[in-house]
Chains A and B, each alone.
Chain A
């Protein structure tokens, strides 16, 4: 398997522009996660889906952020309008979820390479 695929790998945009980040999870995985990593806040979960349904979006910073998962092999994270404070590395991860505590370790999360977003 190719692993989790994210695009673009780097994005530089100007404040106020719309940004769309894309993710293709590992085939067969049923959970997908969007994380953001910054020096100040570390790694924080923004939202996660199970079987294409959003389960917890409490980490989404504000209404400017939205995420969709139209099918099992694709998800997007959109920021509109973007602001300089949104600059960060955004990771997508996927897992075969047993809703935690899976005895065979099926909840292992596999991360994509990340998208480095810079908002000027």
Chain B
């Protein structure tokens, strides 16, 4: 099956800093989603981005499907950005395979 690797596993930032999270996948995908799990456990979908670039406020994501990676950019980080960021992928199925996540801590 498809393998999903995320890096870095942990990230500590001061408020206002920018960061880039990476998701590598081992095979072709036509479904890629980024999620944020906040400290209370709620999973929020950030982007559906099987290819191309999307932006939503301070967050943006780029997926280069031919090179099998996706990047999530967080600019001007805030303490509310803290939590775990997951990348999840699939190919011709609704069954998403999740990465192990990047744990982000933003300090004031």
Residues of chain A at the chain B interface (Cβ within 8 Å): 31, 33, 42-45, 48, 50, 55-56, 89, 91, 93, 95, 97, 99-101, 105, 107-111, 113-114, 116
Contacts A/B (CB < 8 Å), 12 sampled: A33-B94, A33-B96, A42-B98, A44-B98, A55-B94, A99-B94, A100-B91, A101-B31, A107-B48, A109-B88, A110-B45, A111-B44
Q: How far is the CB of A75 from chain B (nearest CB, A)?
A: 15
Would B48 and A108 count as touching, CB distance under 8 A? yes
Q: CA A46 – CA B86 in complex, angstroms?
A: 18
Q: How large is the interface on B (under 10, 10 to 19, 20 to 34, 35 or more residues)?
A: 20 to 34
- Which of B30, B35, B45, B94 lies in contact with A50, CB distance below 8 A? B94
Q: CA A111 – CA B101 in complex, angstroms?
A: 16
Main secondary structure of the interface of A (DSSP, over half): strand
Q: How far is the CB of A30 from chain B (nearest CB, A)?
A: 10
B19 at the A/B interface (Cβ < 8 Å)?
Answer: no
Chain B, residues 22-54, CB within 8 Å of chain A (1/0): the string is: 000000001101010000011111001010000
- Taking A33-B96, A45-B96, A109-B45 as known contacts, 18 extra A-B pairs with beta carbons closer than 8 A to each other, sorted by chain A number, are A42-B100, A43-B86, A43-B88, A45-B95, A56-B95, A89-B41, A97-B94, A99-B93, A99-B94, A100-B30, A100-B92, A100-B93, A109-B33, A109-B96, A111-B42, A114-B42, A114-B43, A116-B41
Residues of chain B at the chain A interface (Cβ within 8 Å): 30-31, 33, 35, 41-45, 48, 50, 86, 88, 90-96, 98, 100-101
Tell me which residues across on chain A come within 8 A of B90, comparing CB atoms.
100
Q: For residue B89, which residue of chain A has the nearest CB?
A: A100
Contacts A42-B100, A100-B31, A101-B30 given: A91-B43 contact, CB under 8 Å?
yes
